[in-house]
Chain A
Amino acid sequence: MLLGLLGAAGAFGVCEAVSRAGIVRRSYLPPASEVLVRAARLTADPVFVDGIGVTLRAWALGLGLACAIAVPLGLLLGAVPVVEAAARAVIEFLRPLPSVALIPLVSLLLGSGTETEVTLIAYASLWPVLFNTVYGLGETDPLAKDTLRAFGFGRLAVLLRVELPATAPFIAAGVRISAAVALILAVATEILSGFGQGLGIFIAQAQTATDGTRDVLAGVVWAGGLGLVINGVLVGVEGRLFAWALEPGPEAGKSERGHP
């Protein structure tokens, strides 16, 4: 932990020194302290704070929509092998398409507004949740399923009482991956649309201003901070809700980080 702080301070110092010493042009890489001060000052800027709100709202809507579609679909695909085999062909052809490439088409269809942003976020964050749901269903303990079946429970009851709870940790992991993807898409659509409100739009507009690198970097700091907080919250929620499902193997390695 202490070393980590030291490392962060070191990285900060190097950026600061490189810029102050004039190794790169100041307009390319402003001193780290100026960027951080600017990022902190932005909290007092109501337009910027509103923009963050707009971005987060689109992010949450898109992610929610994706989960609402992907979890039931994943359960269906995972529970009925024939549907899975059939749908896989279509999915395998849809998934490799880089979602950012859909921005031009969707903006032609829906115009450049929140709808476009939410649609794209939902599309892109659909896949991790979907695949994790299907995968998680496959990992369910067959003994538990057979036990319930032996007691005369129907297909649906088995799904709801055994398979869904057993899959939940996998779904949660999928949502965590999707949350990062959704943020990428939110920022990307906003940067490309170029007007309106949002974090990406702040970055895109700062880029064109003279000496705007400082503002762009302040926006990047905010974007990274958002990503970090979102990931941290989701990891925390996962750990709390699904502590029973955590495998001891890889997690044991992580605890070493505490005392280097």
Chain B
Amino acid sequence: MTGTQGNASGSPRATAVPFLLRWAVLLVAVACWELAARARGSVYFPPPLRIARHARDLWFSGAVDHLFLTPAAVDTILPSLGRMAAGFALAAVAGITLGIAMGRSRRAYALCNPVLQFARSVPPPALVPVFVVVFDFGTPMQVASIVFSAVWPVLVNSAEGARATDPLRLEVAAVLRLTAPERLWFLILPSALPRIFAGLRLSLSLCLILMVFSELLPGADDGIGFTLTDAQTRSDLLTVWAALMLLGALGYLLNTGLLAVEKRLVGPRTSAGRTA
């Protein structure tokens, strides 16, 4: 989706102009927002510079040996990120393993498909109250909600990816007497990888949504989502906006990171040379 015009063969000028234009437009947009916000003086739409300063004071004005993170940042950002990382990792591992196992067997696929389609159709926030009852509030409930919503896209995509392995190649593998693990590692996994990553990208955005949602619920007591509701009840709009900016930045960084991993693993399309 990104980098469609990043063709390596283009002249530096051809790629530099859109790049500069982008940043110029962004700067102009922020400047307009700043000016408009100052002119209007609305409580609801504070100027971006004030939001940025507020965010810095809240989270990024700490000591150097804490990477500039303030204690408040350690208490809000790290728990959120930790839960999200745990949820995403569990969902990815479970989804890829089960998905490939399911995709390899036509019977298993046919058996599980309707249940899977239903599970995937449930809007994930609807399930969170179930986990609240089972685990009460806290990290297990939040991780469980994240896993249960993020696992389905990976599972379905891995299964379809594994199903779509070229049968001719599988026959070649049989002729070469590759063992089952070798077949999995050199053949099925690489050919399913693009689909798996498509699923992972969907899962990542669901993880972020569920992380915030599970913290927004009344009863949660830490995390970025809690900061949001807390600021909302105090009508502290600067903090609300700062938290939104933080979440936007986190979402951007996480997504960019995943795309970079995908590009490294899938991009070259050489399956044997992978070390990861």
In the assembled complex, the Cα of A223 lies from the Cα of B208 at a distance in Å of 21
Q: Which of B132, B134, B217, B244 contacts A101 (CB 8 A)?
A: B244
Asked if B240 is at the interface (CB within 8 A of a chain A CB), the reply is yes
Asked if B178 is at the interface (CB within 8 A of a chain A CB), the reply is no
User: By the criterion CB–CB under 8 Å, are B129 and A216 in contact?
Assistant: yes
Task: Tell whether A109 pairs with B107 under 8 Å between CB atoms, given A204-B129, A213-B133, A224-B118.
Answer: no
User: By the criterion CB–CB under 8 Å, are B123 and A228 in contact?
Assistant: no
User: What secondary structure prevails in chain A residues at the interface with B?
Assistant: helix
Task: Tell whether A253 pairs with B25 under 8 Å between CB atoms, given A103-B216, A131-B1.
Answer: no
In the assembled complex, the Cα of A230 lies from the Cα of B117 at a distance in Å of 12
5 smallest A-B Cβ distances: which pairs? Answer: A96-B251, A227-B121, A7-B111, A224-B122, A89-B22
Residue of B nearest to A135 (CB): B1
Whole-angstrom distance between the Cβ of A164 and the nearest chain B Cβ: 21
Whole-angstrom distance between the Cβ of A57 and the nearest chain B Cβ: 16
Interface centre among B160, B243, B252 (most CB of A within 10 A): B252
Whole-angstrom distance between the Cβ of A134 and the nearest chain B Cβ: 10
Residue of B nearest to A231 (CB): B121
User: By the criterion CB–CB under 8 Å, are B163 and A94 in contact?
Assistant: no
User: By the criterion CB–CB under 8 Å, are B209 and A184 in contact?
Assistant: yes
Contact with A along B114-135 (1 / 0, CB 8 A): 1101110111111111101110
In the assembled complex, the Cα of A222 lies from the Cα of B225 at a distance in Å of 27
- Chain B residues lying within 8 Å of A216, measured Cβ to Cβ, are 129-130, 133
Residue of A nearest to B26 (CB): A89
In the assembled complex, the Cα of A100 lies from the Cα of B247 at a distance in Å of 11
User: By the criterion CB–CB under 8 Å, are A219 and B114 in contact?
Assistant: no
Asked if A260 is at the interface (CB within 8 A of a chain B CB), the reply is yes
Task: Tell whether A219 pairs with B107 under 8 Å between CB atoms, given A90-B29, A96-B251, A98-B212.
Answer: no
Whole-angstrom distance between the Cβ of A74 and the nearest chain B Cβ: 13
Given contacts A108-B237, A226-B121, 13 further A-B contacts (CB under 8 A): A1-B110, A6-B111, A28-B134, A90-B29, A98-B212, A107-B232, A109-B44, A187-B123, A213-B133, A227-B123, A253-B163, A253-B164, A260-B109
- Chain B residues lying within 8 Å of A4, measured Cβ to Cβ, are 110-111, 113-114
Whole-angstrom distance between the Cβ of A189 and the nearest chain B Cβ: 9
Asked if A97 is at the interface (CB within 8 A of a chain B CB), the reply is yes
Identify which of residues 215-239 in chain A touch chain B, using a CB-to-CB cut-off of 8 Å.
216-217, 219-220, 223-228, 231
Identify which of residues 200-215 in chain A touch chain B, using a CB-to-CB cut-off of 8 Å.
200, 203-204, 206-207, 212-213
Q: Which of B112, B216, B241 contacts A192 (CB 8 A)?
A: B216
